């Protein structure tokens, strides 16, 4: 369970930052929406990773 929480948190953090960074020059609202989308994608990928680690 701890691995799941850690991976989803890290995924959200990294995904959100990546989304913001990629759309930084396009405006604040665009970067905010991209950050949210990146966070969602990061949570999903982190969850998949945690399931693979836990076996």
Residue 30: band (very low, low, confident or very high) from pLDDT cuts 50, 70, 90: very high
Average pLDDT, the chain: 95
> Residue 19: exposed, middle, or buried by beta-carbon count in 10 A (0-12, 13-18, 19+)?
buried
- The boundaries of the domain holding residue 23 are 2-54
User: What's the structural domain count of the chain?
Assistant: 1
What is the predicted pLDDT for the residue at 28?
A: 94
| Cα dihedral value 32, 15, 47, 3, nearest 10 | -120
HSE, CB side, 13 Å, CA atoms: give it for residue 23: 17
pTM over 0.85: yes
What is the predicted pLDDT for the residue at 1?
A: 81
Residues 15/49, Cβ–Cβ less than 8 Å: no
CA-based Rg of the chain, rounded to a whole angstrom? Answer: 12
């Amino acid at each position: 369970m701890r691995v799941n929480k850690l991976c989803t948190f890290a995924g959200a953090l990294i995904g959100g930052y990546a989304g913001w960074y990629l759309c930084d020059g396009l405006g604040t609202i665009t970067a905010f929406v991209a950050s949210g989308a990146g966070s969602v994608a990061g949570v999903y990928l982190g969850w998949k990773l945690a399931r693979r680690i836990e076996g």
